[in-house]
Amino acid sequence: MAVQLLSAAPRHESMPEFYVRPESQRPRLSEVVSGADIPIVDLISSDKQQLVSQIAHACQSYGFFQVVNHGIPRELLEKVMEVAAEFFRLPREEKAKLYSNDPAKKVRLSTSSNVRKETVHNWRDYLRLHCYPLEEYMPGWPSNPSSFKEVMSTYCKEVRQLGFQLLGIISLSLGLEEDYLENALGHEQEQHMAVNYYPRCPEPELTYGLPAHTDPNALTILLPDQRVAGLQVLRGAEWIAVDPQPDALIINIGDQLQALSNGRYKSIWHRAIVNSKAERMSVASFLCPCSNALIAPAEKLTGEGSPAIYRSYTYDEYYKKFWSRSLDQEHCLELFKSY
* Domains recognised in the chain with CATH numbers: 28-336 (2.60.120.330)
Counted residue by residue, the chain has a size of 339
What is the CA angle 42-222-272, rounded to 5? 125
List the single range of 18-27, 103-112, 138-147, 180-189 with lowest mean pLDDT. Answer: 103-112
| 101 pLDDT above the threshold of 90 | no
pLDDT of residue 339: 76
102 vs 77: which has the higher pLDDT = 77
Distance CA 93, CA 4 (A): 12
* Rg for the chain, CA atoms, rounded: 19
- Burial class of residue 201 (count of CB atoms within 10 Å of its CB; 0-12, 13-18, 19+): buried
pLDDT of residue 52: 97
pLDDT tens sequence across 253-294: 999 999 999 999 999 999 999 999 999 999 999 999 999 999
339 vs 307: which has the higher pLDDT = 307
pLDDT tens sequence across 135-157: 999 999 999 999 999 999 999 99
What's the pLDDT band for 102 if we cut at 50, 70, 90?
Answer: confident
| 2 pLDDT above the threshold of 50 | no
Distance CA 181, CA 300 (A): 13
pTM of the model: 0.95
pLDDT of residue 1: 43
User: CB-hemisphere CA count at 13 Å for 68?
Assistant: 10
- List, in sequence order, the alpha helices (H) in the chain: 48-61, 74-88, 92-96, 134-137, 148-173, 180-185, 255-260, 315-323
| 94 pLDDT above the threshold of 80 | yes
| 56 pLDDT above the threshold of 60 | yes
pLDDT of residue 3: 58
